[in-house]
Amino acid sequence: MKSEFNKSMSIVDVLFLAIGAMLGWGWVVLSGEWVSTAGFVGSIIAFLIGGFLVIVIGLTYAELAAAIPETGGGFVFVKKAFSPGIAFISGWSVLFGYVSVITFEAVALPTVIDYVIPFQHQGLLWNIAGWDVYLTWVLIGSVGSIILTSLNYFGVKPAAIIQTVFTIFIVGVGLLLVFGAGFNGNFNNLQPFENGVGGTMSVLMMIPFLFVGFDVIPQIAEEVKAPAKKIGGILIFSIIASVIFYLLIVFGVSTGLSPQALTTSSLATADAMVNLFGHSGFGILLVLGGVAGIITSWNAFIIGGSRILYAMAKNKMIPQWFAYIHPKFKTPTHGILFLGVLAFVAPLLGRPALQWIVNAGGIGVVLGYLLVAISFLKLRKTQPELERPYRIKNGKAVGIIAIVLSVLFLIIYLPGMPSSLAWPSEWLIVLVWYFIAFVLYFTQKRNVVSSEQVPIQEDR
């Protein structure tokens, strides 16, 4: 069946799409929390364990993306292995993670603009969880959502070009921080551990959110003009490159700020940069790298999220409205507009509420990973004849490890764990999201059955 999409993305486009998605803004705003919560060694261990999980999961995605290069990625893999109901859970769960990142970036944008250009906000709207929401603050995030939505609306290639340029800038700024740490950093600041195992686990809990993004590659597989085998290889390379980047940022921040300075810093990565180079201009440069990260991850998840919505609509699991492809731009414009609206209204919730969404969205990401790993093993058994251009070695062992690690990650979020989701705020978000899934799935299922039961009039 002929694809409705244009093959307009090169391997370079795909590489920077995934790396830009995984780097985002978290390395700027969260690094101080990692080091103060777990210490230098504790943070490194968390990223190595989390990175190992993501690489193992990525191997299962890489083989399946090369074997089944269809729009929808993990959702399509699970549907091929299991029932539509399980595939729906998979797609809806990953979409949960994507939406959480999109809404997070809509709030991160005005936050970072405040650092670069201090501004007295006007038009107090309301207070949420002790945080005042101002109209001018909201408008920065909302205008950003209009720009990013428009960029994707008019075709994937313009969005890919912006992605490449901004990702190169992020990596350059990050490497500058590491360069400064190597020459001017204080190695006595490298406190091995903070808060024991609990501190390391708290950082570990953030890993799925930080690395969600490599799975955008399978979402747009139909739009890549390259052999299927290369899609798998570039996916794994993007994960490894991102893990190394995060480890280097931990080193840069740990040597750039003392433990005491970490506790008082609101933007530790930028303050470390200032401290290492002795000029406030370097802090602004780093924050601009963060702005680039906001744009790259936001952009990537609009691309990926709209393709999930398209695939689920094509399979009649959500309203057909989401399956619309623009005849000229060849993009799923209705899905893009829907995600744009969510980003537009997200700043109205203020900063605290969005942190709840981010934490809750991590569960969706890990659940999606788990279902893909199980599907990987099942398809190896039930469809051994399936052509696998990027066939990984020791597939059974890799699949089992991916499943075990995904389950262990899910346990981290559960009540009683040191890093469990907060009740009621974060758990309510999870329950509401999956309640919507329940209503949508059974409503659509009933509509499909009803349409199939309409009697056909015979000509007489």
**Does any domain span residue 131?**
yes
Query: 80: number of CA atoms within 13 Å, CB side?
Result: 25
Summarize pLDDT for 327-358 with one digit per residue, the tens. 887 888 899 999 999 889 888 887 776 667 77
Domain count, the chain: 1
Direct distance between the N- and C-terminal alpha carbons of the chain, in angstroms, rounded to an integer: 35
How far apart, in whole angstroms, are the C-alpha atoms of residue 166 and residue 459?
61
Residues for the chain: how many in total? 460
CA geometry: angle 334, 15, 404, nearest 5 deg: 85
**Does any domain span residue 310?**
yes
Summarize pLDDT for 91-133 with one digit per residue, the tens. 999 898 888 888 888 887 887 787 777 778 888 888 877 778 8
**Does any domain span residue 455?**
no
167-181, 186-200, 409-423 — most confident range: 167-181
451: pLDDT strictly greater than 60:
no
DSSP 159-213: HHHHHHHHHHHHHHHHHHHHHHHHHH--GGG----SSHHHHHHHHHTTHHHHHTT
Q: Kind and range of the H or E element at 432?
A: helix 425-452
| Residue 212 belongs to domain with CATH number | 1.20.1740.10
**Does any domain span residue 457?**
no
- What is the greatest pairwise CA distance in the chain? 91
- Whole domain around residue 124: which residue ranges? 9-449
Assess whether the previous peptide bond of 418 is cis (omega < 30° from 0): no
Q: Say what the pLDDT of residue 456 is.
A: 42
**Does any domain span residue 454?**
no
How far apart, in whole angstroms, are the C-alpha atoms of residue 89 and residue 441?
9
94 and 21 Cβ atoms separated by less than 8 Å = no
Residue written as token pair 């990692």: 34
